[in-house]
Homo-oligomer: A and B are copies of this chain.
Amino acid sequence: MTKAEFSEASKRYLGVVERELSAIKAGTEGSIHPALREAMFYSLESGGKRLRPCLTLAVCEMLGGDIASALPIACGLEMIHTYSLIHDDLPCMDDDDMRRGRPSNHKVFGEAMAVLAGDGLLSFAFETMLGAAVRSGSPNLLAAAYEAALRAGAGGMVTGQAADIEYEGADVQTEEMLRYVHRHKTADMLEAAVVCGALAAGADGWIVRSLRRYSESMGMLFQITDDILDAVGDEALMGKTLGKDAAKGKLTYVGLLGLDGAREAAEAAADAAKEAVKDIDTNGYLTAVIDNMLTRDR
Residues of A within 8 A of B (CB): 28, 31-33, 35-37, 39-40, 83-84, 87, 90, 92-93, 110-113, 115-116, 118-124, 126-127, 130-131, 133-134, 137, 139, 142-143, 145-146, 149-150, 152-156, 158-159, 161-163, 165-166, 184
7 closest Cβ contacts across the A-B interface?
Answer: A123-B153, A36-B162, A92-B111, A120-B154, A31-B155, A130-B146, A127-B149
Contact B165 A112 (CB under 8 A): yes
Q: Which of B33, B36, B126, B162 is within 8 Å of A149, CB to CB?
A: B126
Least CB distance from A121 to B in Å reads 7
B154 and A130 within 8 A (CB): no
Q: CB distance A163 to B126 under 8 Å?
A: no
Nearest residue, chain B, Cβ from A157? B123
Report B-chain residues with C-beta under 8 Å of the C-beta of A158: 36, 116, 119-120, 123
For residue A93, which residues in chain B have a CB less than 8 angstroms away from its CB?
Answer: 112, 115
Asked whether, in the complex, the Cβ of A153 is within 8 Å of the Cβ of B127, the reply is yes
Interface of A: prevailing SS: helix
Other A-B contacts than A120-B159, A124-B154, 18 sampled, CB-CB below 8 A, are: A32-B159, A35-B162, A35-B163, A40-B154, A87-B116, A92-B112, A92-B115, A120-B154, A120-B158, A121-B154, A122-B123, A123-B152, A126-B145, A127-B150, A127-B153, A127-B154, A130-B145, A134-B142
Distance A111 CA – B114 CA, assembled complex (angstroms): 14
By the criterion CB–CB under 8 Å, are B32 and A165 in contact? no
How far is the CB of A209 from the nearest CB of chain B, in Å? Answer: 18
- A275 to chain B: closest CB distance in Å? 28
**Which interface residue of A31, A92, A158 has the most chain B CB atoms within 10 A?**
A158
A52 to B127, CA, bound (A): 20
The interface residues of chain B lying within 8 Å CB-to-CB of A133 are 142, 146
Contacts of A83 in B (CB 8 A): 119
Contacts of A35 in B (CB 8 A): 162-163, 165-166
**Interchain nearest-CB distance for A169 vs B (Å):** 11
Q: Are B32 and A120 in contact (CB under 8 A)?
A: no
Contact present for A32 and B130 (CB under 8 Å): no
Which residue of B is nearest A159, CB measured? Answer: B33
Whether A137 contacts B139 by the Cβ 8 Å rule is yes
Please indicate the chain B residues that have their CB under 8 angstroms from the CB of A153 in the complex: 120, 123-124, 126-127
A290 to B31, CA, bound (A): 28
A155 touches B118 (CB 8 A): no
Closest-CB distance, A5 to chain B (whole angstroms): 36
Neighbouring B residues of A122 by C-beta, 8 Å: 119, 122-123
* Chain B residues in 8 Å Cβ range of A134: 139, 142-143, 146
In the assembly, what is the distance between CA of A83 and CA of B153, in Å? 13
A152 — nearest CB in chain B belongs to which residue? B123
Q: Is the CB of A165 within 8 A of B87?
A: no
CA A168 – CA B291 in complex, angstroms?
51
